[in-house]
Amino acid sequence: MALFPIFLELAGRPCLVVGGGAVAVRKVQGLLQAEASVTVISPTLTGQLAGLLAAGGIEHRPRPYRDGDLGGFVLAFAATDDDAVNAAVAAEGRRAGVWVNSADDPAHCDFFLPSLLRRGRLTVAVGTGGGSPALARAVREALEAHLPPEYATLADVTIEVRDELRGRAGSPDAERWRRALGPDPRLLIGGGKRAEIKRRLVQRLEETA
């Protein structure tokens, strides 16, 4: 299967999770991290989801899924322990043009969730098209050693410098940025102090002009 990797902007957009168990918790947490507006359809909720509901973090429809529930949503997750229900959610999504992810069921998925490595605003996603989540996780864990926490600061500084230089005469093009950041971005991090990282990055950009 040829997949198109993409990062979605979901802030404030309505997303649905069908199911109220442990799998649903993970889906809801990921959506809330993306600042989506989340609704859960399930007769019952785990303690974690009940806590999110009490705090106003999610909306809840306390009943089983029924056809037509995907109306008004841009993205949906089928996360029940009933394969027939998950398949019905996926089928409705394809009729209605709503992307659906069905937990542990690649045949009923319109998209797959990668294993994520986050360093501040830097995100590395590793996926196998739903074929082997365990391999994706193993590769992500192997990458962690090569991307220390200081990469979060490097990402912030790079974005800051890019914003400062954007629109100026002679502002760096893509090739200058490539040379300034490569071949190993870790060389810019040094002791991890923000001011030093910025000084090194600006110096490299000037040297590659």
Q: What is the DSSP string of 127-160?
A: --TTS-HHHHHHHHHHHHTTS-TTHHHHHHHHHH
In this prediction, residue 1 carries a pLDDT of 61
Same domain for 79 and 165, yes or no, is: no
Same domain for 21 and 103, yes or no, is: yes
In this prediction, residue 209 carries a pLDDT of 77
- The pTM assigned to this predicted structure is 0.85
**CA 170 vs CA 54, 167, 178, 180, 206: distances in Å:** 53, 8, 16, 15, 10
- Domain residues for 47? 14-111
CB within 8 Å of 4: residues ≥ 6 apart: none
Last residue of a domain, which of 111, 134, 165? Answer: 111
What is the tens place of the pLDDT at every residue in 71-83? 999 999 999 999 9
Same domain for 191 and 104, yes or no, is: no
Total domains, the chain: 2
Show the tokens assigned to 161: 């410098």
Identify the segments of the chain with pLDDT beneath 70.
1
Q: What is the 3-state secondary structure (H, E, C) of 17-28?
A: EECCCHHHHHHH
Give the CATH number for residue 25. Answer: 3.40.50.720
In this prediction, residue 18 carries a pLDDT of 98
Is residue 106 in some structural domain?
A: yes
**CA 89 vs CA 20, 46, 141, 173, 189: distances in Å:** 15, 21, 32, 46, 47
In eight-state DSSP terms, residue 81 is: S
In this prediction, residue 156 carries a pLDDT of 96
Is residue 120 in some structural domain?
A: no
